[in-house]
Amino acid sequence: MALQSLSFEPRIEAGAPLVAAPARRQAKLFALPRAKPKILFATSEISDFVQTGGLGAVSASLPRALRASCDVRVVLPGYAQVLANAGPLLVVERLPGYAGLPPCSIAAGATPDGLALLVVLCDELYARDGGPYADADGRAYADNDVRFARLSLAVAEIAARGAGGWTPDVAHLNDWPTALAAGYREWRGVGAPCMLTIHNLAHLGEFPVERLGALGIPGEAFGLDGVEFHGRVSFLKAGLAYSRHVTTVSETYAREIVAPARGCGLDGLLALRAGQGRLSGVINGIEEAWDPRADRNCPYQFDPPRWKSRYADFVRGVFGLSLARAPLFAFIARFAHQKGVDLVIEAAAEIVARGGQLVAVGEGEAEAGLRDLSLRWPDAVGLRAPFDASLARAVFAGADFLLMPSRYEPCGLSQMYAQKFGALPIAHRTGGIAETVFDGRTGLLFDVPERRALEQAIARAFALYQAPREFSAMRRAAMALDFSWSRSATRYVELYRELGGGAGAAVG
């Protein structure tokens, strides 16, 4: 990383108290100017540099899709991977410490294709070996509260006073690692309005109440209308409490999370936000690079009708399976209970008994169970762990069917990737899956995440495989679906314009 520095005085006095703003103020809402709205897109990961899940993919794709309509800048921590690969960075702001949060700098940079970046530089918090949230052995960092409070406070500072002469109109927060920014913005009483996107409500960002002082959270904010969640501090709860608007990554998930079964204890607050017109569902998209006609990342170029069978044989060779003429099923996900990996393990015998083959790509706590299957049926079941993105892409291209028995799936991207490559999803009808897979036309859906329901859907898949004309028609229909970001980006721009307001606008 080439790092340059400009001299800037701190924008706020070190240790300045955070004063809770009045509970309700007169709202000052007005439309953003017709010129491109300035959007600060805050994230803890982006696939350009570091990714653990769908958030990283969205953080790379959505800001790029927004560039045609917005002046967007992505703010993220200065992880070691970012510092090594982001190219030249210019320090444009220096922010003082506050409470137990160390000082940091804000550096401006850009990706090779021109996506503007603001990197929060604080080596003691971010420049570590390991991932964004855990060390190389998978242990969560003990100071994650400080790490992401520092990120959130930096976001709030930029939202209030800008960075390098650029001040946003809206701060778009993503999941718990940046959600506390809405609280800091409210307690200071100044700054661009915040919008929070929930990518997975199950990750609440919870920490002990004893950490309030170190994080600079006012004591009066620890309550039902603030950061308190069952006696602990929840960063995500703060985002829900103080953001002007909340979105999630599909309309179906937005409906699901206002009920106790999917609300993770926050269904009451979410139902209130929905009733206020402050909760929206906006389905994610995928990049155009997932079109096999333009794919340059797999070993065979798009050449129908032979390309699918070539990819399938390539996958069989990589996994050491027999070159059988049989349906090839794939499971590409975290090996986690949420993803239904236990159901896949239970249903594997059904796939093998019917003459099919199964490959799994991912990592997680159920790896041992999948490995046992590969040892039991080495010609029919293959495993690759840890996750390998390049191989996963080839598996999407080679598989006939993708197993997605997720118990819940806020949006899901894999079902979109699979359909673009002509692999039909076999999936639980939930969240974004319900909006992007069409039963009997582009995939096979079931209504209950149970072994019997999955096995019945697998039986439908074998019957479909034996009907080549129908199977081919479904593949063509799946590949023709439009999952581009254009419509979703348009909806986000509409929300940004609706959110536009003065620094004194209310959030109550």
Strand order in the sheet with 381-384: 381-384, 357-361, 328-332, 401-404, 424-428, 444-446
183-223 per-position pLDDT tens digit:
999 999 999 999 999 999 999 999 999 999 999 999 999 99
Secondary-structure class of domain 288-483 per CATH: alpha beta
97-112 per-position pLDDT tens digit:
999 999 999 999 999 9
Compute the distance between CA of residue 318 and CA of residue 96 in angstroms, rounded to an integer.
52
* pTM assigned to the model: 0.89
Q: Which of 26-40, 446-460, 477-491, 492-506 has the lowest mean pLDDT?
A: 26-40
CB atoms within 10 A of CB 468: 9
226-285 per-position pLDDT tens digit:
999 999 999 999 999 999 999 999 999 999 999 999 999 999 999 999 999 999 999 999
160-187 per-position pLDDT tens digit:
999 999 999 999 999 999 999 999 999 9
CB atoms within 10 A of CB 97: 16
Provide the CATH number for the domain formed by 19-285+487-499 in this structure.
3.40.50.2000
Hey, do 19-285+487-499 and 288-483 end up sharing a CATH topology, with the first three levels equal? yes
pLDDT of 329 strictly over 60: yes
Write down the mean pLDDT value for the chain: 90
Task: List the one residue out of 76, 409, 22 whose CA is nearest residue 248.
Answer: 409
Rg of the chain, C-alpha, whole Å: 24
CB crowding 486-508: b at 16 or more within 10 Å, else e: eebbeebbebbbbbbbeeebbbe
Phi–psi pair at 339, nearest 5 degrees: -80, 0
Domain boundaries, the chain: 19-285+487-499, 288-483
CB atoms within 10 A of CB 26: 7
